[in-house]
Every structure is written in structure tokens, then in C-alpha cells.
Amino acid sequence: MSNSSMAAVALAKAIAALELIAAPARPDGTYNRCREACEQLAQETLDHISSLMTTAAPAPAVEVKVSGRVLVYSDGGCKGNPGPAGWGVVVVDEATETVLTEAAGFIGVATNQVAEIVAATEGLSRVPEGTEIVLISDSQYTLKGLSEWRTGWVNRGWRTASGDPVANKEHWMKLFAVADKRKVTVRWVKGHAGDVNNERCDALAANIIASTVDI
């Protein structure tokens, strides 16, 4: 059995365990008694999936030379959710519309939300600190987290408005740290709607996943 087939089997087990975790408790307490075991199984199988993936060497975060405002396009995706995930970025000089650089990287097993946050972080990191940047993405989750929700999360001790822990905290913290060293504004673009650079980012992410994992 190939690594990808073994990973698919492991992922199916993880999903089954997660479904049990999410299911309502029975009157006899059956689900309550097995919840902890299911959570452990889900985590172990997801870790096993990651070990089966042949990860590509991450693309070096080489900063581009800029002379004005820069447009950073980013997109992340995964095959299954969670599943093998990757990111793609395109950096464009706004004044000349010249593509300064593009890059892609494989993450491993992750959710689509994680892939989108990582993509934004990777894109911003390729532009020198202090640069004025417009971060362009089709992920409202990423853009709103960076521009709208962040202050509330931090003020509440990394809790959402409903009191739940903020998901993907470690990835958000990395994105915030990179963004804070640059002058970042955000712009949403509809995905798969013909925007050339957004489509290119999507293709870069998809290609890195396909070339890294036999799926």
C-alpha cells in the first residue's frame, strides 16, 4: 500500500473518531466514556498521516527589493479538510504591475484555515520590514482575523466573543508578528473569479500538494 493510501485510511479513522467526539451523549453515557479515547485516537491518526507524507523543503523566504507599495496575493488549500495542505503567494509591484516573486510550500496535514493563515504569513515575510503592503486573499477568515478580530481576541485573552478559545492561535501569532513589522492593509477578492494573481496562487498551492503527495 502506498503512503498516500495508508494516509487515506488513517484519515478515515481520524474522521470517524472526530464524529464520535462531536456526537451527542447517549442516556447511558456511552459517548461520554469514550470521548477521551476518541480524542487521543484522532490526534494519533492525524500525527500518523503527517509521518506518511513526504514533505518538500520549505521555500526560502527571500525578500524582494521594492520601491513602493506592494501587493501580496496569498492562497492556501488542502486535499480534504484536514488533509495534505499547501500555500502559494505572488508578490506584485503595484505601480508597474510587475510580478516580483512567487513561491509555494507544502505544510503537511492541516485544515484549510491553517493553510490560508500560513499563506498570508509566507507572503508578507517575502517583503522587507516597513514596506506598505496590500494583502489580497479570498479568505475572509484570514483577512478579518488580521484586521478586525485580532484586538478583541487579545483583549479577551485569546477568546472569541462567545468565550471559546481562538482556533489556530499559534498560526495567528506568527501572522501578527510578521504583519506588525510592515504597513499592512487588506483586500478581499472572490476566489475562482478570474483574478489572475489569485488564480496563480491557487494553482501554486494545488501543484505543490500534488507534487509532494501521491494523491
Domain residue limits, the chain: 3-52, 70-212
CA-based torsion, 189, 190, 196, 197: positive or negative: positive
**How far is residue 131's CA from residue 139's CA, in Å, rounded to a whole number?**
22
The pTM of the full predicted model, rounded to 2 decimals, is 0.75
- Report which of 183, 189, 188 is spatially closest to residue 70, judged by C-alpha positions: 183
pLDDT in tens, the chain (215 residues): 445 445 544 555 555 555 555 555 555 555 555 555 555 665 556 555 555 544 444 445 667 778 889 999 999 999 999 999 999 999 999 999 999 999 999 999 999 999 999 999 999 999 999 999 999 999 999 999 999 999 999 999 999 999 999 999 999 999 999 999 999 999 999 999 999 999 999 999 999 999 987 64
Cβ(10)–Cβ(48) below 8 Å = yes
State the Rg of the chain over Cα.
19
Supply the DSSP string of 51-109, one letter for each residue: HHS-PPPPPP-PPPP-SS-EEEEEEEEESSSSEEEEEEEEEEETTTTEEEEEEEEEEEE
Which residues are annotated as catalytic?
75-76, 116, 138, 192, 202
Strands 132-137 and 183-188, sheet pairing = parallel
16: which 3 cell numbers? 470517524
Instruction: Cell 492556501: give the residue.
Output: 76
Q: What is the CATH number of domain 70-212?
A: 3.30.420.10
